[in-house]
Amino acid sequence: MGLFTAIDTAASGMGAQRLRTDVIADNIANATTTRTAEGGPYKRSRVIMRPRVEQAFWRSPFLPDGMDNGVGKGVRVSEIQKDSAPPRLVYDPSHPDRILSGPNKDYVEMPNVDIVTEMTDMIAASRSYEANASIVEGSKTMFLRALDIGSKI
């Protein structure tokens, strides 16, 4: 394990959580967008993260074979996925994007964004970012103490 492995791992988490926060902010900003370039209402986006798996140069003696590939390597964003949940129907006969015919006449297809869910996800992303920042600070303090001990020898 390298000297900066903990910082690299935490930095990957910080980057992923920053992107997650940006996507959540985009969802909140478009919570009432009924018309998009693709047609129809805005669809909620979500960030899909996967573990960073690289060539393992360190093996944990505590994990069974095959379970330690990528342990301690961090995360990466594999994709930003659109939510396939159906849009919400809201009755508004004066809205310009209302459905003009059929059983849902005078309803508007609204985005599948739930503000409470988005705010909960935003808090979770923020706390995860803070936890990773604490790891970076702790690692930095540990390195400085190690240098201090080494200079006294």
5-29 vs 115-152: helix crossing angle, rounded to 10:
160
In the prediction, which pLDDT does 52 show? Answer: 85
Q: pLDDT tens digits for 64-113? A: 665 555 556 889 999 999 999 999 999 999 999 999 888 888 999 999 99
Kindly state the average pLDDT of the residues 37-65: 78
- The residue ranking higher by pLDDT, 153 or 48, is 48
- Contact, 114 vs 86, CB < 8 A? no
Q: Concatenated DSSP letters for 60-78?
A: -TTS-TTS-TTTTS-EEEE
Please give the Cα distance from 114 to 41 (Å, whole number).
Answer: 14
pLDDT at 122 over 90: yes
pTM: 0.81
One-letter amino acid of 52: R
**Contacting residues for 134 by C-beta, under 8 A, at least 6 apart:** none
Query: Across the chain, what does the average pLDDT equal?
Result: 87
One-letter amino acid of 96: P
